Amino acid sequence: MVNTIYSAMEFYGKGDPYFGGTAADWALYKTEDGGHAFISAADAQRRKLVMAYFPTEAEAEKAGAAASTRKGSISAVPIKPRLEVPTAQISWIVSNKHVGEEDGELAEDFADRAKRAGAADADLIAQIVAYALACHRANQAIVTL
């Protein structure tokens, strides 16, 4: 069973800015136009952006490398889904789907399911979709063995 989704962080600069350093470590967020960008937490909150979540470590690192403009050190960070994410139900639903189903179709299905169930928090919906895709990847890996 899958128990982790991933986010990406960009580590840039050296030393604590409070003591004269230049460090500015930013998370990867989904931007208003649907792309990804490393943004400070304060700017992301002001713009009401949702953190970008990924089903695998490799996908998080790839998206982070593509989005990096500062060329800092990119790392995938494991994220334990929020308690509100119905992991058992998602895993069961995904295991009853075909492993060849397109990612976009699966993501749209779970976003719709979450909204119909009353989820209004964009971050929660993003985690639900990422968790469903993580379960999908795990099922695809079983088939390729």
Q: Note the pTM of the prediction, 2 decimals.
A: 0.87
Nearest Cα residue to 60 out of 87, 39, 34, 78 = 78
Nearest Cα residue to 5 out of 126, 145, 139 = 126
Interval 25-58: pLDDT, tens: 899 999 999 999 999 999 999 999 999 999 999 9
Interval 102-120: pLDDT, tens: 999 999 999 999 999 999 9
pLDDT surpassing 80 at residue 144:
no
